[in-house]
């Protein structure tokens, strides 16, 4: 028997319609490439998105065609989110930090038909424009008055505000199958070519409901949310959609991601919640601590994308009264998979116990199921101390990559259900809290046993003189691989190899102790702010360990 409820497809446009109708006055504040602070509302956002949808229609953009962006977090980028997906085309957010050759590959593979870009990226666009034959329209995200003279290098360049001005704000968002594609994001492809992850309207809406839940990002109409995580990185973890769903104020930092600029924006816009990868918080923490500042409104921040070092959890929690919610996800999982929110049973934990738990990646949010399997593919029960590969499934987890690149990534279980292998190595405790020890490609294998590089990095990061630490496996004649710790010191701070190694005392099994420490000026970061350990491994491939 069928249920007898309305058949209303879950569409991205419905979020915008809701926000306009029920939270029309709520503000969206953006620091712009033009240098100023721009203020608008959800009502205005909705009207301009409809103008943009008319403009895109006039430009000939068809259903399912890809419209690309090279843009910071800001209101214009948000308009593109809703106009492009809302009219049934596919928003393709390009990561401007990628190498131009990779960008070319991705834009060509996606067959982008139009490309909208912030002026910051004009040189990048000028460098690739001649080689992207499929792109029919190049649009600079600014008013004509701000267009620099050398913009003329891009033939037929359009100006975003001209497009908006030239079209009226009446547009009926079409209804279509909720399984239609809404947006596209490529994985950074640390190995091999990047692969496209094509989200649907349905997956996006379901993810948005889940993301807003109290034990997930916990967003409400009273929040002021500043996504530091870029809108080109897995849809800023869904926060633009969550903003519309909840009516939270949104504060966009634009290109100004340094500690001082962020802190000023947190304060002036009374931000209550933020989100980003650990590396961006380092700059903010250094600025806030260095100047003896406090946050007057910020209460929570979500940290994920790579493991949040326990020292950072405490710096926020004890030093600044900001609760960190550690979260795990991937481009392939939209991205939210787990969040480390407490359960009632944790009320009695002492402070150290709470921080130890918070360092885990957390428990599955409803909609995502997860399990850890051994080398033979057998599930390891919750609470077993064994680590294995993490597999996930759910309605916002990928089934296949765009254009089926690489074939099906899924693995079937005995019941024939498909699971997505994450490439992460993890344990799950008796309460269902997942803890990542490594990415499978970063695992250090010494004498046939795994050494968890993340644990070692976390201990190093707890040393007051350490700004950043990466632990990699270096070839060893007897043990195959041994850990080498690569460290960036904080400016002006001093620590020796032996002092640093002494700080590991009693915290790990003796054979986990790194064989050596090298101090470097910088650790290479990828396009999403993660340490590129593959580059470090390359750099230190011939490193002579003292024990070798």
Active site residues: 187, 332, 445, 450
Distance CA 45, CA 15 (A): 12
CB of 172 vs ligand ADP, minimal distance in Å: 35
Q: Pick from 240, 305, 367, 473 the residue near ligand ADP by CB under 6 A.
A: 305
Cite the beta strand spans of 492-542 per DSSP E: 516-519
Q: How far is the CB of 372 from ligand ADP (least distance, A)?
A: 14
187 is a site residue for ligand ADP (CB under 6 A): yes
Span of 184-192, 237-245, 279-287, 374-382 interacting with ligand ADP by CB under 6 A:
184-192
Q: Which stretch binds ligand ADP (CB under 6 A): 72-80, 185-193, 285-293, 531-539?
A: 185-193
- Chosen residue from 224, 422, 427, 453 binding ligand ADP by CB under 6 A: 422
Interaction of residue 93 with ligand ADP, rule CB under 6 A:
no
Using CB under 6 A, pick the residue from 119, 528, 536, 537 that binds ligand ADP.
528
Q: Is 388 in the site for ligand ADP (CB under 6 A)?
A: no
Binding-site member from 205, 212, 280, 307 for ligand ADP (CB under 6 A)? 307
C-beta closer to ligand ADP: residue 190 or 279:
190
Token pair of 507 as six digits: 């915290």
Residue 249 touching ligand ADP (CB under 6 A)? no
Q: How far apart are CA 67 and CA 361, in angstroms?
A: 34
> Residue from 103, 236, 265, 436 that binds ligand ADP (CB under 6 A)?
436
- Provide the CA 542 distance to its chain's centre, in angstroms: 33
Q: Bridge partners of 424?
A: 439
- Which residue from 424, 481, 515, 516 is in contact with ligand ADP, where contact means CB under 6 A? 424
Question: With contacts defined by CB under 6 A, how many residues of the chain interact with ligand ADP?
Answer: 21
Query: What Cα–Cα distance (Å) separates residue 526 from each residue in 127, 371, 463, 535?
Result: 21, 28, 24, 10
- Piece of 170-178, 220-228, 311-319, 328-336 that binds ligand ADP (CB under 6 A): 328-336
Tokens 């001209």, located at residue: 162
Q: Token pair for residue 459? A: 């201990």
State the Cα angle at 212 between 211 and 214, rounded to 5°: 105
| Tokens of residue 234, six digits | 């897995």
Is there binding between residue 439 and ligand ADP (CB under 6 A)? yes
Confirm or reject binding of residue 182 to ligand ADP (CB under 6 A). Answer: no
Binding mask 252-291 for ligand ADP (x = CB under 6 A): ----------------------------------------
CB of 453 to ligand ADP, least distance (A): 11
| Rounded distance between C-alpha atoms, residue 341 and residue 217, angstroms | 10
224 makes contact with ligand ADP (CB under 6 A): no
- Smallest gap, in angstroms, from Cβ of residue 330 to ligand ADP? 4
Residue nearest to ligand ADP (CB): 188
Q: Quick check: bond before 335 cis, omega within 30?
A: yes
Shortest distance in whole angstroms from residue 187 CB to ligand ADP = 5
Cβ neighbour number for residue 97 with a 10 Å cutoff: 16
434 within 8 A of 427, measured Cβ to Cβ: yes
**Strands across the sheet with 196-200, in order?**
158-159, 137-140, 112-117, 66-70, 90-93, 181-186, 196-200
361 binds ligand ADP per the rule CB under 6 A: yes
Residues paired with residue 30 on neighbouring β-strands, in sequence order: 38, 252
Q: How far apart are the first and last CA of the chain?
A: 70
Distance, CA of 544 to CA of 530 (rounded, Å): 26
97 part of the interface to ligand ADP, by CB under 6 A: no
> Of the candidates 313, 330, 434, 444, which one interacts with ligand ADP according to CB under 6 A?
330
DSSP E strand stretches across 429-489? 434-439, 444-446, 449-451, 466-476, 480-489
- One residue of 183, 204, 274, 306 binding ligand ADP per CB under 6 A: 306
Q: Are 64 and 111 in contact (CB under 8 A)?
A: no
Q: Which is nearer to ligand ADP, 190 or 400 (CB)?
A: 190
Strand blocks (E) in 304-387: 323-329, 336-339, 363-364, 369-373
Strand 196-200 and strand 181-186: pairing?
antiparallel
Binding site for ligand ADP (CB under 6 A): 187-188, 190, 304-307, 326-331, 361, 422-424, 436, 439, 528, 530
């Amino acid at each position: 028997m069928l249920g007898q409820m309305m058949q209303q497809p879950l569409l991205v446009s419905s979020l915008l319609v809701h926000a306009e109708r029920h939270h029309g006055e709520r503000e969206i504040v953006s620091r712009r490439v033009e240098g100023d602070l721009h203020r608008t509302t959800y009502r205005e956002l909705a009207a301009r998105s409809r103008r943009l949808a008319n403009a895109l229609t006039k430009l000939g953009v068809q259903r399912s065609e890809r419209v690309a962006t090279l843009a910071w977090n800001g209101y214009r980028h948000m308009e593109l989110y809703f106009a492009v997906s809302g009219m049934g085309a596919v928003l393709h957010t390009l990561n401007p930090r990628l190498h131009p050759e990779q960008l070319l590959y991705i834009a060509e593979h996606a067959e982008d038909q139009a490309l909208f870009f912030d002026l910051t990226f004009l040189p990048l666009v000028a460098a690739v424009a001649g080689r992207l034959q499929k792109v029919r329209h190049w649009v600079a995200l600014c008013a004509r008055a701000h267009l620099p003279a050398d913009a003329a290098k891009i033939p037929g360049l359009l100006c975003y505000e001209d497009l908006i001005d030239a079209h009226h704000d009446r547009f009926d968002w079409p209804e279509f199958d909720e399984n239609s594609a809404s947006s596209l994001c490529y994985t950074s492809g640390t190995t091999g070519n990047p692969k496209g992850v094509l989200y649907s309207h349905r997956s996006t809406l379901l993810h948005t409901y889940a993301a807003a839940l109290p034990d997930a990002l916990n967003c409400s109409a009273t929040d002021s949310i500043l996504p530091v995580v870029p809108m080109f990185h897995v849809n800023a973890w869904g926060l633009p959609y969550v903003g519309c769903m909840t009516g939270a104020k949104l504060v966009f930092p634009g290109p100004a991601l340094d500690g001082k600029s962020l802190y000023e924006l947190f304060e002036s816009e009374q931000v209550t919640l933020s989100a980003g990868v650990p590396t961006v918080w380092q700059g903010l923490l250094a600025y806030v601590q260095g100047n003896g500042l406090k946050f007057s409104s910020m209460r929570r921040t979500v940290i994920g994308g790579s493991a949040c070092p326990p020292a950072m959890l405490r710096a926020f929690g004890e030093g600044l009264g900001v609760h960190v919610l550690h979260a795990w996800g991937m481009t392939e999982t939209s991205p939210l998979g787990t969040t480390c929110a407490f359960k009632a049973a944790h009320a009695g934990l002492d402070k150290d116990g709470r921080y130890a738990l918070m360092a885990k990646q957390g428990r599955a949010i409803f909609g995502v199921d997860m399990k850890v399997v051994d080398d033979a593919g057998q599930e390891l029960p919750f609470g077993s101390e064994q680590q294995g590969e993490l597999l996930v499934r759910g309605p916002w987890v990928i089934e296949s990559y765009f254009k089926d690149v690489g074939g099906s990534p899924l693995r079937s279980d005995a019941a024939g259900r498909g699971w997505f292998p994450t490439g992460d190595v993890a344990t799950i405790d008796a309460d269902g809290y997942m803890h990542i020890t490594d990415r499978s490609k970063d695992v250090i294998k010494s004498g046939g046993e795994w050494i968890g590089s993340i644990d070692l990095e976390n201990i190093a990061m707890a040393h007051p003189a350490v700004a950043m630490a990466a632990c990699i496996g270096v070839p060893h004649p007897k043990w195959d691989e041994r850990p080498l710790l690569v460290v960036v010191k904080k400016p002006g701070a001093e620590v020796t190899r032996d002092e640093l190694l002494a700080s590991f005392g009693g915290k790990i099994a003796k054979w986990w102790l790194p064989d050596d420490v090298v101090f470097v000026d910088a650790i290479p970061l990828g396009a999403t702010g993660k340490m590129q350990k593959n580059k470090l491994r390359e750099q230190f491939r011939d490193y002579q360990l003292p024990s070798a």
